[in-house]
Structure 1
């Protein structure tokens, strides 16, 4: 499956981010970063819903060590994951912006540009 086709499987926010960042002329390596940033955006949105009170999404009962008679309560560390993903997304978006700026050509007032 082509990477751009994978963008069709993104959530609505991830898709909007993809549409704003992706350019058909981007190199494959940049497109990979764009798609991953969009996936992270969708994950962050889900984590936000979890942290906003959807306890069914972050709290569950599971059999204890395979014993169906004893249940454990498992709570995901959604807040920690959200912070980590936000940091990764910030870094990815900064790198995408840097790479896009690098490929846009020299600065128009660069006196050495035509050497």
Structure 2
């Protein structure tokens, strides 16, 4: 493998890593939820849903301490943001303000996970 091939591979890897982090930033940008620094990424992918349309799916899992921080934030956000709702075992967030880029979040208490879906229509 020559030097140019190694540089090309490095650029591709760096680009893919950067895109993954930017996708995770969408959670905070769309919901005002501040994520803790430590979490496990279970899913982080973009899927094509048509010619120019795509869907971003992210699933994060938290340890007990960081999950409690998320829950505390959401309990506060529910009081000021009507997009946040709760049930016995889940929290929900639905944002359809921008019809061409709706997003939603589900937070599952039983396994300490957060599922984020962002659509570009």
**Which is richer in helix?**
1
Would you say same fold, with TM above 0.5?
no
TM bracket, shorter-chain basis: under 0.3
TM-score, normalising length: structure 2: 0.26
| Larger-Rg structure | 1
